[in-house]
Structures are given as C-alpha cells and as structure tokens.
Amino acid sequence: MTAEELRLEQARIRTVHWKRWGPYLAERQWGTVREDYSPGGTAWEYFPHDHARSRAYRWGEDGIAGISDNHQRLCFALALWNGRDPILKERLFGLTNSEGNHGEDVKEYYFYLDSTPTHSYMKYLYKYPQTAFPYARLVDENRSRGRREPEFELIDTGVFDEDRYFDVVVEYAKASPDDLLIQITATNRGPDAAELALLPTFWFRNTWSWAHDQPRPILRGERSSRGVGVIAAEHATLGRRHLHCEGAPTLLFTENETNRVLLWGAPNASPYVKDGIGQSVVHGKEDAVNPAQVGTKAAAHYRTVIAAGEVARIRLRLSDGGAEQDAFGDFADIVEARRREADEFYATVIPADLSPDATLVMRTAFAGMLWSKQFYHYDVKLWLDGDPACPSPPAARRAGRNRAWTHLYNEDVLSMPDKWEYPWYAAWDLAFHTIPLALLDCDFAKQQLILLLREWYMHPNGQLPAYEWAFDDVNPPVHAWAAWRVYKIDKKRTGTGDREFLEHVFMKLLLNFTWWVNRKDADGLNVFQGGFLGLDNIGVFDRSKPLPTGGRIQQSDGTSWMGMYCLNMLAIALELARDDQAYEHVASKFFEHFVYIAYAMDDRDAGAVGLWDD
C-alpha cells in the first residue's frame, strides 16, 4: 500500500481527516445564480466581474489556485500585480454570456498539473502577462463578433508576444491534515527584467453580514522571533490557524465586506473593505488597509523584480501550530516526499504499458478532475426569502427560478463541470465524473452519487436537481448507469462489491424512475419526452417550456435513455438478488418495462409509426 493509499483508507474510515483542506475554492463566484437577487433572474448582470473585487459574496468564494477547508470557512489563494494592470489580479477573468460571441468564456491560461485524491500534493500553473491585462479589449472585440466568427482570445491581443509573461506555479504539500506547505514559483519567460508583486491572500468567507448576532472571525498579524511574517486566524468552529510567510513580507489587512461607497454611494460599515488591499497595492492608498493589522482578509505582499529567465520563489505554511513553529526547517523534505508519493500512487493507477506522453495526459486529466472539486452552498428557501439582516429581495423572484425547490439545501464539496465556466453541479455531468474518480478515490465517487439522491437534493417527487440555472430541467437519467459502473470498478479493484452502496442508491433510484414514468410519458405510451437530454442548448426554443403559440411538441428523445435506465436497474437488481431473492421480482419488473419501451420505439400505432429514421 502506497502512502497515498494509506491516507485514502484513513479518510475512508474517518480516523484521519485528510480531505479537510483541498481545492474547494471556485474560480468564479460572480455571475452565478446563487449570488443573483435581481427581480428577473439576470445573474450575469446583477453581479458582474467589475463588482467581484469590491462586493462580498453571499454563498461562496473564488480565487486563483485557491484552497479552503471543506466548509469554506477559511480560504487561501494567490493574487498578483505586474505594475501595469488597473486592478489587482485576484480572480480569473472571462466574458459573460452576452459578451462572448459564443457565450460565456474564460479568457485566461491556467493549468491543473497534478493532484493526489487526498490533495496531499497539488500543482497548478498560471500564465500572467507582463503588460496590462486587456480587459476592455477582450470584451469589446468579442462582443463585436458574430457567432460565425472565431473567438478573440487572450493570446490574440499580443500580450504574450516575445514571451513577455510569467509562469507562476503554485504547489501544495500536506505534512498532516491541518499542516499545509505552500510554494509559489514565478519564472520570467520574457527577454527583460520585469516587476511582479506576489500576494498570497488569506481570508474568511463572509458568514456574519447576513444574519444578526453571527460570530465574527478574525485575522491578526503576530510577531515571530524566527523572522517570518505570521497571520493568526481565529474562527468559532475551525479553531486557531497560523499562516507563516517566509521572508517577512509586508502584511496587509482589510475586511471581506462590500465597498458600498464605491458601488452604490452608501456608507460603509468600516473604512476597510474587500478591495482595500487592491487599493493599497495598485493605487497606493495606504489608508485602505488597517494599520492595526486586524481584519477578515489579509495578504502577504512580496515585491520582486525578476531578471529575464530567472525565478522568484516564496514559501508559506498554513498550520494549526503556534506562531513560533519552525515552519521552514523541514519544508523542502516534505514537499519532495509528497511529490515522490504522488508518483508512487499514480504508478498503481496508470497502466505501465502507456507511453510517457500518454501517461502524462492521463495523469494531467486526473489532476483536472481532482482540482475541479468545489464547496457548493445554496439554501433555496433562504435565497428566495432573503437574509434577516438584509433588505427583502424583490417579490417577483417568488414566481421565478427554482421556486419549486425550497427543500434544497446544499453545503458540500462537489465535482464541478468547470470551476469557471460552470461553477455549479449538473446531475448528469456529475454522474459521468464519478467513473474516472472511482479509479482514484472510489469512496468519493460513491459519496457523490449518494449525495444527489439525498432528501436535501432530490425533490420529494423523485426528480434529481438538474443545475442551479433551472433545477426543474431534465438531465438524462444516467445515475443508475454511473452507480453500476462505480460498483464494478470498486469490486474489480478491491475484490469485494459494496452491496450497501448499491442497495442505497437502488432504493432512491426507484423513486427517480417512477418520477420519469409519471411525469415524462405524457400519453402513457412508453415514449418519453424531455427538454435537455443530450442536445444541450442547440434548440431554437426551450423544449422544456410550453410553445409560444400554445400546445406542446411531441417528443421522444428520452425514450432510449429510459430503455438504458431499465437495463441498468435490471443489472443492479440481479446483483442484489444474489443475496436477497426479493430483488428478483423487481428485476423482472425492469425487464418487462424495457420490453415495453423497445416495442414502443419500433411499433407505435400498430406499426404505422416508429421512432427510427429509416
């Protein structure tokens, strides 16, 4: 058993919480449904990128190469400034749905290079231009292009000409579940020396502004006799943590609270607000940060000038040790050990007969899957009603998006389709994700499948939530297929099938199957409809909604999915029947239903109508 496999086992049996910290920070929280309190559901416009640096988020946080604990109480990410940008680079930039000629699109270059399943080692690369980032030009050029034209990308602007950019690599290595080593390496790829400010940023998610009498965490600067900068964090449930910053950088403190003066001309609760660090670094406003070195958001400001081809490296350590901990004595040895252990783990996962290139592709793909975990928080009832300490939302929202999902309460780490383009789970995407995840961490894969079937996700009528833009939409029913595949992968790797997992998902999937039969077979002919069943958004109108002229479309594209659903449930029932004969009767039911669906596809109206295009 490799060291990483041992960590996975300790996490599985809950003796050691190796997964408490991970890449659970979103890459875009602005422009999401959760942050949208507009009357008409205009999420992109209600909370744009230009607000993100100054406005506190309600439901989550975002950042570059970021991590957080599994409840996203305390966050860490990298901010940068090249001396030319008009704003501090704290988050990835991209176009909204209306700005992009092909819809929303991130306009940055970043790469997930490595990660183990417990995130004992992680590696991330971000490419940062040395000239001013062309925010306005990217928006204007893409907005002016038609759908038949190619997208205007960051590289098309010329900011990478002559290799005038920095490669910024962020590595994480865990000495223990609550002791994280962070190494940031910036390489100047350009022909001349260039300025770069590195600002590792440490902050609490704002949980105190939305209700009365909520405990407020605190960050404060502390002195260390070891000659390093130290930021102490105190939180009511997370406890005490220290971020040790090698080299004694300038520590900057502010509050993770909205700059109301800037956005709306209203008074601020404090002179120190969310964009205070950016105001200090970029615009030289020293009074924008707290000289008392206390707050809920802080950054270690490292000023560097890096010669052509040279490297600047900074090291930090986030731990539950004290301010006087020797944070860097064993740093290099631990980082190297975690890299080696990552190699040893992947040697047990990736087939040995693959070429070096194919091995790298597979490992990097796994890294992408693991980095795409995200803390996702959404309480629909509270979102519709509004927070006690805030103004009531517009009444029109009660007739709008997700109003039928007031039971839904999500506060979990979930696998995302993409933490910038799609920083929200989608039911069928997540089911597909669990297949490669099962090769790395079968316990996490099973937990993800079970989670969407729990009563705080699944609707009381049996429907699975599609995605936050419209939980009522219909995703293809692939959950049973994914559960069966994960079960078989687990059985092949361990030699024993997890019957408890299979039985659990089967019972809940019976409810979901019944929902499909009762809601999506409008005429009782075993022909199933649906508006979002693999064709995504290519239709000229929304097939999930009534037609503008009245009536409805005769649809059949859910039928083959339901045929597969029957076969998947049949396979699971037969497997469970090995130990419990009661499942034989359920198996025969799904076999019979499959035959009905097959017949309907080929012989509707006594053979006059079929679903095949002959």
CA-CA distance, 530 to 528, in Å (whole number)?
A: 7
DSSP calls for 180-221: EEEEEEEEE-SSS-EEEEEEEEEEE---SSSSTT----EEEE
Provide CB contacts within 8 A for 282, sequence distance 6+: 81, 85, 86, 87, 88
Q: How many CB atoms lie within 10 A of CB 312?
A: 18
pLDDT higher than threshold 80 for residue 63: yes
What mean pLDDT comes out for the span 71-76? Answer: 98
One-letter amino acid for residue 341 of the chain? E
Q: What is the pLDDT of residues 575-605, one digit of tens each?
A: 999 999 999 999 999 999 999 998 888 776 6
Identify the pLDDT of residue 548: 77
CA-CA distance, 12 to 476, in Å (whole number)?
A: 30
Q: Which two tokens stand for residue 439?
A: 């090769």
pLDDT higher than threshold 60 for residue 139: yes
CA 49 to chain centre: 17
CA-CA distance, 562 to 421, in Å (whole number)?
A: 29
Identify the pLDDT of residue 543: 65
CA-CA distance, 100 to 147, in Å (whole number)?
A: 9
CA-CA distance, 70 to 20, in Å (whole number)?
A: 5
CA-CA distance, 98 to 106, in Å (whole number)?
A: 13
CA-CA distance, 393 to 375, in Å (whole number)?
A: 25
Identify the pLDDT of residue 223: 82
Mean pLDDT of the chain: 94
Q: Which two tokens stand for residue 320?
A: 């539950």
Identify the pLDDT of residue 528: 84
- Between 302 and 473, residue with greater pLDDT: 302
Residue 254: strand, helix, or coil = strand
Could you tell me if 41 and 469 are in contact, meaning their C-beta atoms sit under 8 angstroms apart?
A: no
CA-closest candidate to residue 115, choices 307, 392, 341: 341
Identify the pLDDT of residue 608: 54
Residue 478: strand, helix, or coil = coil
Provide CB contacts within 8 A for 242, sequence distance 6+: 222, 230, 231, 232, 233, 318, 319, 320, 321, 322, 323, 325
Interaxial angle between packed helices 331-347 and 3-12, expressed in degrees from 0 to 180 and rounded to the nearest 10: 90
Interaxial angle between packed helices 479-494 and 442-453, expressed in degrees from 0 to 180 and rounded to the nearest 10: 150
Identify the pLDDT of residue 68: 98
Alpha helices, DSSP H, located in 315-467: 331-347, 356-371, 380-385, 427-440, 442-453
CA-CA distance, 405 to 418, in Å (whole number)?
A: 24
The order of strands in the sheet holding 179-188 is: 110-115, 121-129, 165-176, 179-188, 311-319, 239-245, 229-235, 218-222, 294-295
Lowest model confidence (mean pLDDT) among 162-176, 332-346, 365-379, 551-565: 551-565
Q: What is the pLDDT of residues 440-485, one digit of tens each?
A: 999 999 999 999 999 999 999 999 999 999 999 888 899 999 999 9
CA-CA distance, 161 to 396, in Å (whole number)?
A: 49
What mean pLDDT comes out for the span 535-548? Answer: 64
Phi and psi dihedrals of 459, rounded to 5?
Answer: -65, 150
CA-CA distance, 310 to 186, in Å (whole number)?
A: 8
Task: Determine which helix (DSSP H) or strand (DSSP E) holds 113, and give its type and residue range.
Answer: strand 110-115
CA-closest candidate to residue 197, choices 130, 248, 110: 130
Identify the pLDDT of residue 234: 98
- Per-residue confidence at 533, pLDDT binned at 50, 70, 90? low
Cα–Cα–Cα angle for 143, 145, 150, nearest 5°?
A: 120
One-letter amino acid for residue 500 of the chain? E
Could you tell me if 166 and 193 are in contact, meaning their C-beta atoms sit under 8 angstroms apart?
A: no
Q: Which two tokens stand for residue 355?
A: 């070429």
In the numeric block, the tokens 């199957």 are attached to 513
Provide CB contacts within 8 A for 525, sequence distance 6+: 600, 604
- Per-residue confidence at 610, pLDDT binned at 50, 70, 90? low
- Per-residue confidence at 526, pLDDT binned at 50, 70, 90? confident
Domains of the chain: residue spans and CATH: 75-353 (2.70.98), 426-602 (1.50.10.10)
Could you tell me if 335 and 173 are in contact, meaning their C-beta atoms sit under 8 angstroms apart?
A: yes
Q: Give the bridge partners for 245, in sequence order.
A: 229, 316
Sign of CA dihedral 460, 465, 468, 474: negative
One-letter amino acid for residue 482 of the chain? A
Length of the chain: 614
The pTM score is 0.95
CA-CA distance, 83 to 196, in Å (whole number)?
A: 7
pLDDT higher than threshold 70 for residue 347: yes
Cα–Cα–Cα angle for 396, 402, 404, nearest 5°?
A: 100
Burial 441-478 (b: 16+ CB within 10 A, else e): bbbbbbbbbebbbeeebbbeebbbbbbbbbbbbbbbbb
CA 523 to chain centre: 39
Could you tell me if 483 and 443 are in contact, meaning their C-beta atoms sit under 8 angstroms apart?
A: no
Q: Give the bridge partners for 325, in sequence order.
A: none
